[in-house]
Amino acid sequence: MPLISVYIIAFNEAEKVRAAIESVRWADEIVVVDSWSTDGTADLAAQLGAKVVQVTFQGFGDLRNQAIAACVHPWIFSLDADERCTPEAAQEIRRITQDPNALDAYHTPRRNFFMGRWIRHSGWYPNYRQPQLFRKGLMSYDLKPVHEGYVLHSTKPLGHMRAAIWQFPFKNLAEMMHKANRYSSLGAEKIQFKKITMGSALLHGTWSFLKHYFFKRGFLDGWAGFVIALGNFEGTFYRYAKALEIQKGDEWRPPT
């Protein structure tokens, strides 16, 4: 029976990492990749039996590649600290890894819970990120600091699991705003070489709101859908505005 490693990336996630680890107790190895948390995340993970690896954060792509390197088994399932593997997904993962005709990498659908409800629209379901189940050595990540992509080292097509995992992306709106600020700063580094104006930043932000609220039917998710769309507006606008700030450099700094 092929063995499975699960890696969980975490930074100051003491409130969430226990539930994430408990949801993958079925795995043959659990690796928590921590970036020097200050809230006891690493100690808690170790107490729960996970192998803890400390990696200095240099972008999510690098972090995930180092997580892969820390896993020892031929199959890898990636889980973030705010995600939970459901029993149905665990069963499907076991079936796939035991199938001699299995593909080499699979997307996993995610069902998100936000503002007291399961989000069914807004681009949040099935909300695939990078393939989360894959054979070791047959997938890696690019080195983008955030919203990292993946590179599939296989000629086989990409598969899609049927069973969903759960994601609890924000414990409250304050955490949502904190993450948006962090991610927009990381995202600004990716686009700092583009031609940007404050007008284009506003247009990109407005399009992001319209896309999520109308075209992805966020309005059907009630106020939660509006908040998601508004959050996408703010995150996108500030990503471009921060990139422009990088470009302007001393022009935007106060005189000495």
Tens of pLDDT, residues 185-240: 999 988 999 999 999 999 999 999 999 999 999 999 999 999 999 999 999 999 99
Say whether both 38 and 106 belong to one domain.
Answer: yes
Give 107-142 pLDDT, tens digit per residue: 999 999 999 999 999 999 999 999 999 999 999 999
Say whether both 137 and 109 belong to one domain.
Answer: yes
How much is the mean pLDDT over the chain?
95
Q: How many domains does the chain have?
A: 2
Say whether both 211 and 106 belong to one domain.
Answer: no
Q: Tell which of 133, 167, 201 closes a domain.
A: 167
Say whether both 115 and 190 belong to one domain.
Answer: no
State the number of CA atoms in the 13 A half-sphere of 42 facing the CB. Answer: 11
Say whether both 135 and 241 belong to one domain.
Answer: no
Q: For residue 156, what is the domain's CATH number?
A: 3.90.550.10
Sequence-distant (≥ 6) Cβ neighbours of residue 129 within 8 angstroms:
110
Structure tokens at 222: 């009630």
Report the share of the chain in percent with pLDDT over 70: 100
3-state DSSP: the chain helix, strand, coil percent, rounded to 5? Answer: 45, 20, 40
Say whether both 21 and 97 belong to one domain.
Answer: yes
Give 29-49 pLDDT, tens digit per residue: 999 999 999 999 999 999 999
Query: 220 phi and psi, to 5 degrees?
Result: -75, -10
DSSP label of 157: P
Say whether both 143 and 221 belong to one domain.
Answer: no
Task: Show the domain range for 44.
Answer: 4-167
Say whether both 62 and 160 belong to one domain.
Answer: yes
Task: Give CA 81 to chain center in angstroms.
Answer: 9
Instruction: Report how far residue 219's alpha carbon sits from residue 116's, in angstroms, rounded to the nearest whole number.
Output: 16
Q: Tell which of 167, 188, 211 closes a domain.
A: 167
The answer to whether 180 and 231 have CB atoms below 8 angstroms apart is yes
Say whether both 133 and 184 belong to one domain.
Answer: no
